[in-house]
Each structure stands twice: as C-alpha cells, then as structure tokens.
Chain A
Amino acid sequence: MATTDEIRDIVLKYVKDEYLEDEDQEVGYETPLISGGIVDSFSMVSLKRFVENKYKVQIPEDKATPEAFDTVTRIAALVQAFLEKKA
C-alpha cells in the first residue's frame, strides 16, 4: 500500500500541473488550496476524480469537503484513511 508520503508527492504534483497558472507560484504540502484561492471549489472535482482513480477508492460527497481538500497533507490523509478501510 502507498505510504502517506508517496501519496503527498503524487497529489502535490497533480495540483501543480492541474491548477497553477504560472510556474513560479509556490505550493507545498501545507499551502491552503481552496481557502487560499488556488483551487476553486468548483474545479476541485478533477482533484477528487484523480485521487479516486489513482488509488481506486470512492470518497463520498460528504467526506469530499473543501476543508478535507484544503491542503495536500489533508488530502493524502483522507486517501490513506480510505485505503486502510479498503484493506
């Protein structure tokens, strides 16, 4: 099973490719994505779809809140929790 660190790096890369408009914008594990205005809550859906497809998990709508998706660390923790449930 993927470790949380691995998940973090993969999610961070996806966030950079998918959402950043200019190269020198800095995003790290703890950067607030949604509350920080980097990812709008409407565009969050592709991020959710990405982790679901990548890790073969289903995150129900009520767990996929803007708060739960606000940082790369939190997303990784959420994915990890679902992976453990599955295992």
Chain B
Amino acid sequence: MAFSDAVRAGFRKDLEGLKEAGIFKVERFIHSAQAADIEVEFPAGSPPRKAINMCANNYLGLSSHPEVVKAAHAGLDSRGYGMSSVRFICGTQDIHKELEGRMTAFLGTEDTILFPSCMDANAGVFEALLNESDVMISDRLVHASIIDGIRLCKAEHDTFKHANMEHLESKLELHKDKRLKVVITDGVFSMDGDTAPLGELVALCERRGAMVFVDDSHSTGFIGKTGRGTHEKYGVVGKIDIITTTFGKALGGASGGCVSGRREIVEMCRQRARPYLFSNTIAPVVVAGVLRVLDILAGSTERRDKLEKNAAYWRKGLTEAGFVLKEGDTPIVPVMLFNAKLSQDFSRDLFEHGIYAIGFFFPVVPKGAARIRTQISAGHETRHLDKALEAFIKVGKKHGILGKTKEEIVARYGA
C-alpha cells in the first residue's frame, strides 16, 4: 500500500502543525441561499442559527436574485446542464460567445475570453503572452491567483511597494531593456479595500512603454459611476491592456472568470492559455444567469448606488463608534484589531450576536495587521447594518477597544 502508516502519520503531523499555529481552517455550513440573512451551522453539528452575513462578496445582492434564478432556470431548460467538452472541441455555445461580447461592451475593451474561474484566468494569462525576454512587475499585495500565474510564466518578475508609483517607476527603469513589460495590480485590493491609483499608473506605464494588467474581481459591477470597474473610477476606460475579473462575486456570485482587453491578447489566450484549453468553461446555467445580471446592471445603477450608500453608512457608524478602520471608499471595510487571537475571539463573539464576519491574520494579511474584514452588499438594508453595528459595539466594549488607537490596542493585546 502506497499510502502507508508512515505517510499518513506524516500528513497528520502537518495538519496538527497547522492547528498548533492557529491557521487551520474550518468551514461553516450555510443552510440557506446566499443573502444578507442566512442560516449557519457552526460549529459543525450544532443547530443552524440565523445570522446576518457581513463577509460575502455578494456586493450587488444578486447571488439569489429572483430574476437571476429565473434566467438560470431558463438557461438550464434551453441549453442543458453540462458541455462535456472544453471550449475548442465542442464546448462553446452561442451564449458563451454572447457573454464574451457583453463583457467586452461592459468593460469597454476590445475582446473577452471566458475562463472556468478568475483564478484560472490569472493562472493562464501570463504564460500565454510572455517569455524569457519579458518582465512582470506586480504590486506586493496582488491576489494569490496572480502570484500563481506569475510563477507559471517564464518571464522575469519583480514587485513594487503597494500602490507606490515612485517605486514602480524605479522598477520600470531597472527593467527598461526588456522586450515586453507588464505592470500587474488589483483594481480593488481585497484585504484592505483600497484602490490602485490607476490614473497615475496608466500615465506612468504609457510614458515607460509598459502594458497594464488589472484584476478587477472586487470592482466589476459597482466601482465607477456605472459600475464598470476601477478603470471607470479613474477615467482610464480603454487604456487597460488586460483586465481579469470574476463572475463569482458581484455578478451573481456563481462562478467563472474572464480575460478582457486587447484583441490580440485575448486571441493569444484562446490559442495558448492552458486553463482555457484544458478545462471545461462556465456551465450554461451560469452563463444564462450572468447574462441576466448584465441586463439588470444595464437597466439601472440603482444597486451600485445603494451599495455605495450602504458602505458609507457602515463606515460612518463604525468610525463614530470608535473602531480603527482601513481608509477607503469601497464596500470592503476592514475593522483593525492587529492581534491574531483577538480577531478570532472577536469573530466568535460577533457570531454569538448573530453576525457572521471572519477574522483574518498572518499570512493572509501582514503580521500585526489582523482584522475583521466586513463586506457590504446592496442586499443589506439599514436594519441589517444597524443590527450589525450594535453587535460590533457590544463586542468592541467587551474587549475594551472602542475609541482606542492602534498603539493602545497593540499595547494591550500585542501585535
């Protein structure tokens, strides 16, 4: 037997190590559809409890929207359940092409290619475009899937300090002799909720002859006046060479992603990107749902407007209550607790009050920067936010952190 007792013992030891380090992840089972109000079984085996969800990427509240569900049903009836093929053999339907066209129009790009997920888009895109003569220069806080994509690519890579354009410029100077240069950033950074300074970044890259890559997973659908994304917010629509984004967050939240940008880049992905070539694309039922999501967004900006209002209301409430927040103007609102254990205790106590929000700590965020990351949704009503705020205040009082500065919290709990 290949999986010998010794091999098993080895893995068990590794798992114990994760537990001892306090970084062992456990799932919480949700017994309802994804929404502001959910029913959660936690810990496993306990009866499900009602909770307000404050940590979903369901920014536009469309994950269980009746019209999206209805469209998905219709798609299931008309295009079936599965494709049983990758795209280039017999796995492309008319609706896949339609969704690619709709995303191109929505993002203001030249062309779009669907991927099974945005993780796959990020994992496949660099390798499809670049070789040893090129360089990829990424912001230090980009998403893990981009790091994987960079690792799979033979081009050289380098990093620049988070959102620091001076440092980026010094890197562009250092690598000025490379054939192709690609500057890589998230549009909205998922852990901090801040945005990349795309106006300056695009100008710098134009000056220095570098292409721009933006992962807009936490922006598409709601950042910018009509929700096109971070490029709309900074007035650089049409100037981003490569955008990747997901259908797994604001745009219905099911699954799937895409690369959208310059026509030739998209075509290179169709010829070369391995996750596109060797994995089934988005299921027809999901494609039908996303198409309906895009109809909803085309009809009105009501949902992203409500999200913006909700996020501002939530930020103001937390600030007035005396919490330390990460500055920003996105629906990602990190409540800083600095200490890893405190973030876990805080999350547990919130759940006791019917609020579901997760604590994050090293290595997901830097050491001494543990936090509860709250994420606001257009599916939240004022009553949800008020109830959540009440719970945050109760738990904040219990731990004695209201009105305290970073230094005071660190002095009491450690970093």
Contacts and interface: CB of A to CB of B under 8 A. Distances in A.
Interface stretch (B80-88, B107-115, B153-161): B153-161
A36 interface: yes
B366 A43 contact: no
Contact of B161 (A21, A36, A42): A21
A46 interface: yes
Contact of A37 (B157, B158, B159, B366): B366
B158 A45 contact: yes
Nearest to B369: A37
B367 A43 contact: no
B353 interface: no
B126 to A, nearest CB: 14
Contacts of B363: 37
Interface string B137-151: 000100000010010
Interface of A: 19, 21, 36-37, 40, 42-43, 45-46, 49
8 contacts: A21-B161, A21-B162, A40-B140, A42-B150, A43-B159, A45-B158, A46-B159, A49-B158
Mostly helix, strand, loop or mixed at chain B's interface? loop
Question: Would you call the interface of chain A mostly helix, strand, loop, or mixed?
Answer: loop
Contacts of A40: 140
B278 interface: no
A36 B368 CA distance: 10
A7 B199 CA distance: 39
Given A21-B161, A21-B162, A42 B366 contact: no
A3 to B, nearest CB: 27
Contacts of B150: 42
B159 A42 contact: yes
A45 B157 contact: yes
B362 A43 contact: no
A22 to B, nearest CB: 11
